[in-house]
Amino acid sequence: MKLGLLGSPVSHSKSPRIFSTLSRLLKRPIVYRAVEVKEGDFAAAVQRTRNQGWRGINVTIPFKLEAANYAARLTPAARVIGAVNVIRFGRDIIGHNTDAEGLRDALKFAGVVMSGKRALVFGAGGAARAAGWALARGGARSVRFTNRTASTAKGCVRDLAPTFPRTNFSSGAPRNADIWINATPLGLQGYPDVSPASKALRAPVAAVDLVYGKKTAFQRHAERMGALVTDGTPMLVFQALRAYEFWDRPFSAARRAALAEKLIKELS
């Protein structure tokens, strides 16, 4: 099966390694190529991969919004989140978002109970929206978005609230919560490594950093407070597995978790 990733930059991406390991684990041939795409060339690059017989593609920064506009059809999750990280070629080009499902899987995998809990999401971009979706699907009582640009956080509330009437969405200054999610790039290479959570907040039960592969100030901060802390590696692995399932066929929950465990070990 021919698959790949379109984005910029993609040289540091762990997806080729995830899919070559998955190919070995599933004993199925998977060819997965990461392709660097220049701004303005996204639509042409998608067409090229389609013409070359690829089954589908992952989409990453900075094309997740463009991919949502480009797809002929969107799955419900992609429509609500407004960002596409997976495209499947068939008669139509279908856009989907597996960051949301991937984060929900990762939270469950880490033993984080979402049902009835209050969540605080730092950031209001595509990953924050996916986090809001995952938390609400998991039964969170409330989800608050706190972001340096207030209007973007308000947009998250406006777009997610109608789909999840049982979850109380809000935006604004941070408030105490049971679950923290860092959906900002703080701690990522090229960004300041500071925790977005103020010291005045009470300890959460669990904190998930979407930044992966390093111990950030956010993770150290939450660990010092005694929270259960996870980086973005499990989410990365689960969103990749969910993408593969979208291109091929679904795994059982047990099979998905077993594959994720092996892939997470491989990446650490």
Which residues are the active-site residues? 64
Fill in the DSSP letter of residue 165. T
- Radius of gyration in angstroms for the set of CA atoms belonging to the chain, rounded to a whole number: 18
The residue among 214, 250, 248, 249 whose CA lies nearest residue 232 is 214
The residue among 48, 18, 21, 19 whose CA lies nearest residue 35 is 48
Which residues are bridge partners to 209 per DSSP? Answer: 182
Question: CB 51: neighbour CB atoms within 10 A?
Answer: 9
Shortest separation between residue 71's beta carbon and ligand NAP, angstroms: 17
By CB under 6 A, is residue 236 in contact with ligand NAP?
yes
- Spell out, one character per residue from 136 to 155, where the chain touches ligand NAP: x when CB under 6 A holds, - when not: -----------xxx--x---
Which residues are bridge partners to 36 per DSSP? Answer: 7
By CB under 6 A, is residue 94 in contact with ligand NAP?
no
Q: Of the ranges 23-31, 51-59, 86-94, 230-238, which one interacts with ligand NAP (CB under 6 A)?
A: 230-238
Shortest separation between residue 150's beta carbon and ligand NAP, angstroms: 9
Q: Which residues contact 47 (CB under 8 A, 6 or more apart)?
A: none
What is the rounded end-to-end Cα distance, in angstroms, of the chain? 26
Q: Which is nearer to ligand NAP, 188 or 225 (CB)?
A: 188
By CB under 6 A, is residue 235 in contact with ligand NAP?
yes
Shortest separation between residue 236's beta carbon and ligand NAP, angstroms: 4
Q: Which of 4, 7, 82, 125 is in the footprint of ligand NAP by CB under 6 A?
A: 125
Q: Of the ranges 10-18, 20-28, 34-42, 228-236, which one interacts with ligand NAP (CB under 6 A)?
A: 228-236
Cβ–Cβ under 8 Å, residues 100 and 85: no
Which residues are bridge partners to 59 per DSSP? Answer: 6
Query: What string of DSSP letters covers 112-128?
Result: ---TT-EEEEE--SHHH
By CB under 6 A, is residue 78 in contact with ligand NAP?
no
By CB under 6 A, is residue 101 in contact with ligand NAP?
no
Shortest separation between residue 97's beta carbon and ligand NAP, angstroms: 10
Question: Phi and psi at residue 59, in whole multiples of 5°?
Answer: -125, 135
d(CA 206, CA 119): 10
Site for ligand NAP in 178-207 (CB under 6 A): 183-186, 188, 191
Q: Of the ranges 29-37, 38-46, 70-78, 209-217, which one interacts with ligand NAP (CB under 6 A)?
A: 209-217
| Residue number of the CB atom closest to ligand NAP | 125
Shortest separation between residue 159's beta carbon and ligand NAP, angstroms: 14
Question: Phi and psi at residue 204, in whole multiples of 5°?
Answer: -85, 170
Cβ–Cβ under 8 Å, residues 143 and 123: no
Q: Which of 80, 207, 210, 259 is in the footprint of ligand NAP by CB under 6 A?
A: 210
Shortest separation between residue 165's beta carbon and ligand NAP, angstroms: 24
Which residues of the shown chain bind ligand NAP in the complex (CB under 6 A)? 99, 123-128, 147-149, 152, 183-186, 188, 191, 210-212, 232, 235-236, 239
